[in-house]
Amino acid sequence: VVAASDYVSAVPLTLARWIPGDYVVLGTDGFGRSEARRELRRFFEVDAENITLAALSSLAERGLYPKDRLSSAIRELGLDPDKPVPWKV
């Protein structure tokens, strides 16, 4: 399960104990870095492309998606693998 929020990740994390299996949480944990929600979601990696990557990565960890295809998926999704993590910027 991938839970994505354009609010703080603490909100979906409160559900973790009731979610069976793998549970990946994506959240913005801040605001004020952009003028629009779309840019905010991309910056904090909670947009559709990053949600897709989180799901593929989780599947790869379980052996249900080839790990060697993740690099290709990152390129196809238009993501920057060298982008600094948002919480360190």
pLDDT class of 56 with cuts at 50, 70, 90: very high
pLDDT class of 29 with cuts at 50, 70, 90: confident
Which CATH architecture describes the domain 2-88? 3-Layer(aba) Sandwich (3.40)
Across 65-78, average pLDDT:
97
pTM (two decimals): 0.77
How many whole angstroms separate alpha carbon 73 and alpha carbon 13? 26
pLDDT class of 76 with cuts at 50, 70, 90: very high
> 84: which DSSP letter?
P
How many whole angstroms separate alpha carbon 42 and alpha carbon 54? 13
Q: Domains of the chain: which residue ranges?
A: 2-88
pLDDT class of 9 with cuts at 50, 70, 90: confident
